[in-house]
Structure 1
Amino acid sequence: MTDTSRPPLSLYIHVPWCVRKCPYCDFNSHALTGDLPEGAYRHALLEDLQEDLGGVDNRPIDTVFIGGGTPSLMSADFYHCLFDGLREHLTLAPDAEITLEANPGTLEQGRFRGFREAGINRLSIGVQSFQASHLEVLGRIHDADAARRAMDEARAAGFERFNVDLMHGLPDQTVNDAIADLHTAMAHEPPHISWYQLTLEPNTAFYSAPPRLPDEETLAAIADAGAETLSGSGYRPYEVSAWSRDGDIARHNLNYWQFGDYLALGAGAHGKITFPNGEIRRYWKTRQPAAYLNRLGSRTAGQSTIEPSERPLEFLMNALRLTDGVEEALFEARTGVPLSSIQNELTALRQEGLLTPDRLQTTPMGQRYLDSILQRFLGD
């Protein structure tokens, strides 16, 4: 794999603090006690960057995603100064997509405008639901009015591109409840909607004490009705849980799904880098915020090489989530492994009607059996 064939490069920045830990959340997030250590965290992020520069070379940063936690807890000044520091060492592409996750309960009047002035040009607003009973069960700190204001204020602040996060399959949720959430969101015309089913993940409060979720029949009815509702309003699914209007896809997430590279900064952040010699390495940062802030030396907690035998599954488990899949040529370009190494499996899946011809793409039936498809590519 030559240097010129290396994948596009993104940057993920993790802000680990939130107001309150939600019972379904398995991300590296920590309820804030005391003041936000903005200056210290910015210094730690920029110091952390120095260790990762070896994976950059001359590649520009095409997209940035600031996740959490609740990154909108940080001030606009924090992001102004952070991006000034990042630009001293990184080249951000002129059209770089820079996304900030924002929770409605942390957004006082005018904060969105400050984020926009700091260079952030896309928001992902964590609404989850507009219904009071569901918001309470999910542990959210905002109400429906705050969610509506957040969408309106995002547009007023100049954000032409923003995403609304919604969950379905919530405790005791009906089909009508789920569709009502979609209609409320769509009334504000967000260019992008992430609509995903609640799952009970290990190491969460919901996993320890499971709530009563809708039965399988109801979940299927919600999914079908939701897809019909979104499609009827001009949204197109380009990934399992991502819907966009007018091709306004999340470029950062697309880079993940196409097995691109991404630097990782922040407590618990994960990255992936392809090196000029063809090695592909994943790495992750120290998880605990206090340890990350006070670290002497490397903040990289671990790393592992993705061996050639592992790369087909790593690639396909992301690429096949895309509605349109990817061109076959991208497989070897991103993995360094010849497509012929999995040709027998591809041929069998196509004969079974699960993959389309001449493209790494599931058929509608294949999308329903994605987990079974991926089982075919497990390494020895």
Structure 2
Amino acid sequence: MTVLNPKNIPLSLYIHMPWCVKKCPYCDFNSHTVPDGTLSLDLEQQYLHALVEDLNTQLEYVQERCIESIFIGGGTPSLISAHGYTWLFEQIKRKIEFRSDCEITLEANPGTLEHQPFEDYLKAGINRLSLGVQTFDTTHLQKLGRIHSANNAVDAIKNAKKAGFQRVNVDLMHGLPEQSCEQALFDLKQAVEHGATHISWYQLTIEPNTVFFRTKPILPHENTLEDIQSQGEVYLRSQGFVQYEVSAWRKEAPSRHNMNYWQFGDYLAIGAGAHGKVTLNHGIYRFQKTRQPKDYLADVPAPNIHWQHISEEEMPFEFMMNVLRLNQGISVENYTLRTGLSLEPLHAKIKKLQKQGLLRDDREVLACTTQGHLFLNTVLEQFL
């Protein structure tokens, strides 16, 4: 491995807000029901101060870089007040420079009771919203345990646009319990017609440690899932959306934050259960923060746990697992710039995948073919 230069690698920041009003039966994210049904001002302030102390322990990883993007995920980050975010961004800017057009995304619940007016979040410095709609069908929302209605979801998109947000992502799931192809397409049409500029569209998967895993719902037949995928893609393209990642469609600029993940960039991580990746001169590391909010707040600043050095043997899979999700892939030279390794030992595997029609036959770019994306797991297995 050659000496790495972190200055050449973009840096983002992930902030985790761990509370939600209700835990959904399909959710395996690090989310916890808010104490007593509401997030008190005292708890909000305590947590925000803990985030700043957490960041202080990671300043050595900045390596003279600025923050390209911030993503605030959860949980339900819109439970935190806009005033709280204003204060938090002020504290962060005192420690790390923001890129002049830094992308700051907030995940928000469409429920009308969880968030302040969207204008307040825009004024706080948030310039991109990601609305966790999942579906516009009230029956399916109930099956998913969501606390908002179809009308709430439509209103959330309209209100976000009216407030001045130019960039509004809508999260949608398909392959829902007993969902038909027509119902899945209806969800896409609602998102498009009401003004989504970006759509994250992914199939429901049943994850361990969820209610759905313990009590499995009736999911659509494989043929229905294939019809949903193919017809959904045709519809989105007909509406001017471009697929740039396995589950990401855009009419606007790509999500800079997610692009940094997929291009094997660096990201600091603060908050309960947050995951980070940092490049130092001598290697690349992943880390995680304490998961339980009460434990995170009991030991401020929260220590990094599961601090893991990515070995040379693990690096090819780690790199390919991210970059091959992108339709455009990544330039060959970035493999060495971002990993410190030569691509030469992988040439035989790459050539084999190209002959199989799974990787593009391109000397300058690492990218899957359309067929390769359909069998992405098969492609990735070659790099284990």
Structure-1-length-normalised TM-score: 0.97
CA drift at 1:361 = 0.7
Q: Offset at 1:5?
A: 5.0
Instruction: Write the distance in 1 (CA, Å) between the matches of 2:377 and 2:223.
Output: 20
Q: Deviations over 1:244-263 (max 9, x none)?
A: 014x2111001000000000
Preserved CA contact (<8 Å) 2:17 2:271 = yes
Distance 1:304 1:2, change over 3 A: closer
**In the alignment, what sits opposite 1:304?**
308
Number of aligned pairs?
Answer: 376
C-alpha distance in structure 2 between counterparts of 1:297 and 1:116, whole Å: 29
Q: Is 1:154 paired with 2:154?
A: no
- Give 3-state SS (helix, strand or coil) of 2:68's partner: strand
Q: 2:35 aligns with which of 33, 36, 46?
A: 33
1:7 counterpart letter in structure 2? I
Task: Give yes or no for contact 1:6–1:276 (8 Å, CA) kept in 2.
Answer: no
Contact 1:72–1:106 (Cα < 8 Å) also in 2: no
The Cα shift of 1:150 comes to 0.6
Q: CA deviation at 1:368?
A: 1.1
- Aligned-partner residue type, residue 24 of structure 1: Y
Residue 214 (structure 1) aligned with residue 220 (structure 2): yes
Matched-pair identity in %: 50
- State the 4+ residue runs in structure 1 displaced beyond 4 angstroms: 106-110
Q: After superposition, give the CA deviation of every residue in 1:85-128 in whole Å (9 maximum; x if it has no partner).
A: 11111111101000000001155685211100000000000000
Verify the 8 A CA contact 2:11 2:67 in the aligned structure 1. yes
Is the 1:6–1:274 contact (alpha carbons within 8 Å) kept by the matching residues of 2? no
Match of 1:176 among 182, 188, 208: 182
- The amino acid across from 1:353 in the alignment is G
SS in 2 for 1:312: helix
For 1:234, the equivalent position in structure 2 comes to 240
Q: Deviation string for 1:343-377 (max 9, x for gaps)? A: 11001111111111222111111111110111111
Corresponding position of 2:273: 268
Counterpart for residue 16 of structure 2: 14
Which letter does structure 2 place at the counterpart of 1:52?
A: Q
The residue that corresponds to 1:84 in the other structure is 90
Gaps of 5+ in 2: none
Unmatched segments (≥5 aa) in structure 1: none
Letter in 2 for 1:121: N
2:296 match = 292
How many angstroms apart in 2 are the aligned matches of 1:7 and 1:284?
20
CA distance, structure 1, for counterparts of residue 269 and residue 7 of structure 2 = 21
Aligned equivalents of 1:130, 1:243: Cα separation in 2: 18
Look up the match of 2:5.
3
Deviations 1:288-311 (A, max 9, x none): 001111215543222100011111
After superposition, the CA RMSD in angstroms is: 1.3
Kindly state the Cα deviation for residue 2 of structure 1 after the two structures are TM-superposed. 4.3
CA distance in 1, matches of 2:243, 2:277: 26
Q: How many Å separate the matches in 1 of 2:222 and 2:197?
A: 30
Partner of 1:363: 369
CA contact (8 A) 1:124 1:165 kept: yes
Aligned position for 2:257: 252
For the pair 1:72 / 2:74, whether they are aligned, the reply is no
Aligned residue in 2 for 1:104: 110
Q: CA contact under 8 A between 2:6 and 2:280: conserved in structure 1?
A: no
2:332 to 328, 349, 356: 328
Letter matched to residue 244 of structure 1? R
Q: Tell me whether 1:337 sits opposite 2:341 in the alignment.
A: yes
